[in-house]
Chain A
Amino acid sequence: MQQTTGAIPTCRSQAWPALVAKLNSLGLSLPILACLAVLAMAPLFVSDEYTLRLLVISLYFGSLAMTFDFTGGYINAVNFGFAAFVGLGAYAAALVAIHTALGAWAGLLAGALLTGLIGFFTGLLTLPLRGIYVSLMSWFVGMTLMALATAMEGVTRGARGLIVPPIYENATTTAYLYILLGMFLVVYIILRLILRSPVGLAFRAIGQNYDAAQASGVNPTRYKLLNFTISSACAGLFGGFYAHYVGIVTPDVMSMGYTLEVMALSFIGGSGSLLGGVFAAFLLIPLFDSLKRLTEFRLILYGLLLILVMIFYPAGLAGLYQTAIQKINLKRRKS
């Protein structure tokens, strides 16, 4: 900074670490940026519709796993009604797109806001509750939402589902991929910034030791509420995307199976890592899909993987990555 006479190379050599540090603080370390770049360039090399769709679905489930992990991995509260929140966002976006002329983006925003609001009230309900009660309560709220979506035939057309127009006319799969990638990046950076701030520290404190956090002046209730609202809103946002992408919303999107799938991805990826679930999604979803015979056994494999991870390696993929990095660093230091 104080350099006044520095030649251009030194200037660059200083600007580069500064930029890296800046990106790091946004949660975009170099390996992550590389992965994002590969994903962003994928449509240039892949014209195959099937592969592109696979990428969109992987990124979609990865985004959901990330959002899930923001609650599950940090404040240690497993939202067992997660799919219902996603579905609520999907319904809100669908209804806005069908009944108003505000456009798809307004619908996505409405979905996020409504879901955030419901998440806030669910948080309020779970306030006096702790630990496993939070999971139970969110499960019951999720089931209520699904029952409502099925019962309110006048609004949601019940089990027949709502037909949703595409996000804009003639939107291609590539366009959806870029839109989702943009949404993913924005949400990821916001979540990462929150986690890096004192608020994030409070989240982790609550997750690790509730009583100790309370004793050291953290108001668990307020932070839990904040966390739950944010992750619900994000779930609703991605749900809105899903409604436009798939083109139909039925109460089925709120079913337990989706929650379990997202949960499995998030825990296989490693809880408390945000990106672990995304990597798990890109690893597992194409894998299960490419082995056509495995598709039938997909849920069995998810379940088995979840069981194995829980018993033998609770740190998940993120833990594996961390240990690998540590070993490499140790070796470097030795040599």
Chain B
Amino acid sequence: MDPNTAANLLLTGLLRGGLYALMAVGLALVFGVMNICHFAHGEYYVLGAYAAYFAFVTYGLDPISSIIIASLLSFVAGVITDRLLFAPLRKRSKGDWVINAFLLTAGLSVVLQNVYRQVFGMRYRGITSYWDASVQILGLTVSADRVIAFGIALLAIAAMWIFLQKTRTGRAIRGVSQDEQGALLVGINLSSIHTLTFGLGSMLAGLGGASLLSLSPAYPYGGTKPLIASWFVVTIAGLGNVQGAVIAGFIVGLFESVSYFFLGQGWQEVASLALLILLLLFKPTGLFGTQIKSVWER
């Protein structure tokens, strides 16, 4: 393998890893705080992509405001989803929360995919590029879109990190993820934290979909691949582990680009899944998981 190919693989892996990390952080957040195995995460990615497409193409807005509008819309969609579906389920659920919530998101995923299909049709809605430019990195020409999408992903993850660590609300979110009863006792409003968390998780997914519009067009079933990838990352990191998800995102991105190079499309998927199964076999809690038994193991 000559250095040029190696650099190419490294770069593709890293750029891809950034998006995976972004999606996975949202998933891990929803998982860690609300104990929801979110199976419809990809559908918010698609929502973001559609929103960005219409803002950018139909209304002719500039790229940055399109992406911002798309992520805000995804946030609102997440908030509505939580109020409409998870809040009543939480009120009524007696003990079987994890599995019921999981099945609910599975139903939600089917509904959203087919609603997109009915509303927008089976057409691919994509753009060639947000920014008509390219950048030289490691002697390779990379389109500006990819680099900026990578930058947006890193920025969003960093912002989320600061929000969770430094602000009062962020601390409340972490408190709820550690101990719901305790959080309730110190006066945290559980239901608004849950709603906010789901909105933020959906926003990260929508942001991913919007910023990658030029690489993967908006399409009713376009959420499946990002969903699988982000689940992959979250499982490798250990369920609900937000920091681990970032590192695991890059690991998966690099592994995919390298195995794609050596094995080709079909067998690459097999290799990734085999890797994951092996990992779970030897370390069921994931790379960065703890030994503490959590709700979702019951």
Contact = CB atoms under 8 A, between A and B. Distances in A.
Interface of A: 76, 78, 125, 128-133, 135-137, 139-141, 143-144, 147-148, 150-151, 210, 256-257, 260, 263-264, 267, 296-297, 299-300, 302-307, 310-312, 314
Contacts of B274: 144
Interface stretch (B3-11, B70-78, B275-283): B275-283
Contacts of A302: 107, 110
Contacts, number: 124
A114 B76 CA distance: 47
Contacts of B140: none
Contacts of A76: 99
A299 B110 CA distance: 6
**What 3 A-B pairs are tightest by C-beta distance, nearest first?**
A151-B266, A306-B107, A303-B110
A147 B99 contact: no
A144 B277 CA distance: 10
Nearest to B37: A132
Given A131-B98, A131-B296, A132-B37, A304 B107 contact: yes
Given A150-B266, A263-B106, A311-B104, A125 B277 contact: yes
Contacts of A133: 239, 280, 284, 296-297
A314 B95 CA distance: 12
A140 B273 contact: yes
B118 interface: yes
B186 to A, nearest CB: 28
Nearest to B94: A314
B113 to A, nearest CB: 8
22 contacts: A131-B298, A132-B296, A132-B297, A140-B235, A143-B228, A147-B266, A147-B269, A151-B270, A260-B109, A263-B106, A297-B114, A300-B110, A303-B106, A303-B108, A303-B109, A304-B111, A307-B107, A307-B111, A310-B103, A311-B88, A314-B96, A314-B100
Interface of B: 37, 85, 88-89, 92, 96, 98-100, 102-104, 106-111, 113-115, 118, 224, 228, 231, 235, 239, 266-267, 269-270, 273-274, 276-277, 280-281, 284, 296-298
A137 B277 contact: yes
B99 A130 contact: no
B273 A143 contact: yes
Contacts of B100: 310, 314
Contacts of A299: 110-111, 113-114
Contacts of A306: 103-104, 106-107, 110
A78 B231 contact: no
B118 A141 contact: no
